[in-house]
A and B are shown apart, each in its own frame.
Chain A
Amino acid sequence: MDTDSGRDLISDLPQSIIESILIKVPLLDAVRTSILSRKWRYKWATITQLVFNDTCLIPCNDKSIVSCNLVNFITRCLFLHDGPIHKFELNTSYSPTSPDLDQWLLFLSRKDIKELIIDIGEDDWFRAPSCVFFCPKLTHLVLVRCELNPPPNFKGFLYLKHLSLQQVIIPPHDIEVLISSCPLLESLTLSYFDSLELTIRAPNLKYLNLEGEFKDIRLENTPCLVGISVAMYMTDDIAEHFEQSSGCNFDKFLGGVPCLERLIGHIYFTKYLSIGNEQGSFPVIYQNLKFIELYQVSFEDMKELLVVLRMIVSSPNLEELQISSSSITTTADIYDLDFWEKDWPADCTFSKLKIVHMTDFSGLPHEIAFIKFLLGHSPVLEQMIVAPTIYVTDKVVKMLIDLLTFRRASPLATVKFVQEPL
């Protein structure tokens, strides 16, 4: 296809480019390049990223054979590999047995591993061997369904920036120690932790992602937090705990995050924050908070409503607000709508608020009052999008009419009523 056809196009490219190419193909293909020619025999063996996933599986009817083949493939790859391994990812529904996994991890701990991602088996938990804790250069650790028991002489991961533990079993005290012993930690994700009381001390933490049955979350030393996403599930145990707890959760959680830019709360988050919250006190202003997303907010619970209001009033630069209503309707028939007239400071203005998106809207009095409030106090509002919940079909027209009559502080504001497809 060109003048000097027959000349090898690629084998003499610098190894950095070859590596750049080989890490972008599935590992199986990368290893296969070893039979292309003499020069390619060991080109794959020095790549610094090894990703084992379902693309490495050779299909076969017998599951145990597939599993065995995968184990062998991984073992042999590691055995033949030459040089440091910076990234190791194992992502498969098969569960390698403990001796294999332990040996691989031991091997990796000697190879300057920096990024370790292990997500194996569908139902089984594996026990992380202690060598995992002695990978000094680790910057990125993702573990799914494993048992972690930090040994007593574990001093922390000094370079760890990203930690993600999902469905991990670890003694509660140890998780706090683990977090606080990683001084450079920037991103923390904890998923599916049960009944955890958690205090987070991470001076460089920027992104926090929590999901699970948390009893208590305290952010004690997290001045750099920029993004928070929390989903709190409820159990009877936790509900009891909520009732008994003292102190203001809002302050404990959001008291020390002045740099916050994005806040996402799911399920019982607003309820959690409402405990101990005193109306009318706004000690902290979030100058950088631009995006707030709250899901399952109960507009029948005055306390939760107060939390929402406190949040948006404390965020003078808020640009986008998304709220979904909780569809649990309690029997509370008495709505203190006077609240909107009397108790709430009427002079607050949301001077940067541009987009408001209300979903699962059921036309509750406080929901409607809330929208009215927003419309009346947002001088630069561009879009107010309201999507009714699927359970309410009869009141839709009335709601629509009401909404359209509210006074709008912003000449640009459009109110959209969106019937979301089922």
Chain B
Amino acid sequence: MSGGPMAIVKPEMKSYIWLQTADGSIQQVEEEVAMLCPLIYKELIHNGMGSSKNCAILLPERVNPANLGLILEFCRFHQVSGRSNKERKKYDEKFVRLDTKMLCDLASAADSLQLRPVVDLTSRALARIIEGKTPEEIRETFHLPDDLTEEEKLEPLKNITDDPRIRLLNRLYARKRKALHKKEKLKNVEVVEEEHRVDERSVDDLLSFINSGDQDSKGVKVTKNKKKSRGRKEQGRNTSSNSEAGNYNKESNCLTSGTSVGSSPSRNSKLQNSPSELFSSKFDLDDFDIDDELDPARQEEIDREVEDFARRLNSVWPERIQQILSLGQERKRLGPISMNGNGSLKRCTAGVDRG
């Protein structure tokens, strides 16, 4: 380009400045348009850059010719003073009708140029995309990797294969919650008692971890589990919380080391506790004379509660079931015990990791 002005010749000669994008390409832009970008303005005014091709203003890495074009279009439109607010709004709405990739790209470029209005517009458009979608849909839209470990995701055990163990676990969990719902006692006394039980339990956990993997220790474990779960069952009964939220509070008190509760709170620790809790309570079955044949009305009630719980947590994770089932097949009845051991093992190390 020779030094002359571009296409339209106006009586007041527009001045142009030179911009260079990260890929090396240089372009000339009307000064009054480009100045809307704070970064360009600063470079021009404070550093005196951009007046010729040789000292073109170097734009940040994230700005490429494509998004620069869009940004300059935006600036060109809004820089004209006579427009009404309605016109500008309409233009803005049209402006962000881009595909997702372009939106992200544009947001990034605008942010590096410090052009706040475009950042806001693109964020709002991206927010509209995210809002109300399920995690899978969002992952698909943005090509996000599904890389959270099983323990980080949480869900109720969805019994798609009609595995009796899973059915039982779900029921027991629901029963426990129901028990908590119903009881209303003073909290304070129970909290104190609970503290003691927490200590008891953490010691139990350590012991079971130390003794884990051992057939012989199974017996030891069983009793310990029994002690544990009995303690917890009572504690469950005595708690005054009358909702699952209350249950959740108590359980989180019982977490050993400060396992940081990562994602959506009410989901997380509940499930982190539930496997071990459920597995341990399983062994109390015989003691407490609880069998599968619950009276049908209660059974229905419990089934409904479990479903409700599942729905509430709002996710279906087939892989989780696979894991449970595959673990169950590897080891025999003892699966749950070592799982318990692993469970507490997991919890302990998890606590350490995140501590």
Contacts and interface: CB of A to CB of B under 8 A. Distances in A.
Interface in A76-110: 76-77, 79-80
Interface in B110-166: 111, 119-120, 122-124, 126-128, 130-132, 135, 138-139, 142-148, 152-153
A394 interface: no
A10 B261 contact: no
- Please provide the 8 A-B residue pairs with the shortest distance between their CB atoms, ordered closest to farther: A76-B265, A24-B127, A20-B123, A34-B263, A68-B245, A21-B123, A37-B144, A10-B142
A35 B111 contact: no
A419 interface: no
B243 A21 contact: no
B123 A24 contact: yes
A9 B99 CA distance: 11
Contacts, number: 118
Contact of A72 (B111, B145, B248, B315): B248
A26 B131 CA distance: 7
A330 interface: no
A76 B262 CA distance: 10
25 contacts: A1-B99, A8-B144, A10-B144, A11-B144, A17-B107, A17-B108, A20-B119, A20-B123, A21-B123, A21-B127, A21-B130, A26-B131, A29-B130, A35-B153, A35-B315, A36-B138, A38-B148, A41-B148, A65-B243, A65-B245, A72-B245, A73-B266, A76-B261, A76-B266, A77-B265
A33 B312 contact: no
Nearest to B127: A24
Contacts of A13: 104, 107-108, 111
Interface string B253-297: 000000001111110000000000000000000000000000000
A32 interface: yes
Contacts of B131: 25-26, 29
Interface in B50-109: 99-101, 104, 107-108
A37 B142 CA distance: 11
Contacts of A29: 130-132
A7 B143 contact: yes
A35 B124 contact: no
Q: Interface size bucket, A side?
A: 35 or more
B61 to A, nearest CB: 12
Interface string A370-403: 0000000000000000000000000000000000
B246 interface: yes
A192 to B, nearest CB: 33
A284 interface: no
Q: Is the interface of B mostly helix, strand, loop or mixed?
A: helix
Contacts of B130: 21, 25, 29, 33
Given A1-B101, A17-B107, A72-B266, A10 B126 contact: yes
B269 to A, nearest CB: 9
A40 interface: yes
A69 B313 CA distance: 12
Contacts of B100: 9
A260 B283 CA distance: 78
Given A72-B245, A80-B265, 17 more contacts: A2-B99, A8-B144, A9-B101, A9-B104, A10-B104, A13-B111, A20-B123, A34-B262, A35-B148, A38-B145, A42-B262, A58-B312, A65-B243, A72-B265, A72-B266, A73-B265, A76-B261
Contacts of B245: 65, 68-69, 71-72
A41 B152 CA distance: 9
A9 B138 CA distance: 11
Contacts of B124: 24
A69 B241 CA distance: 13
A79 B101 CA distance: 34
Contacts of A41: 148, 152, 262-263
Contacts of B261: 76, 79-80
A115 to B, nearest CB: 18
A59 to B, nearest CB: 10
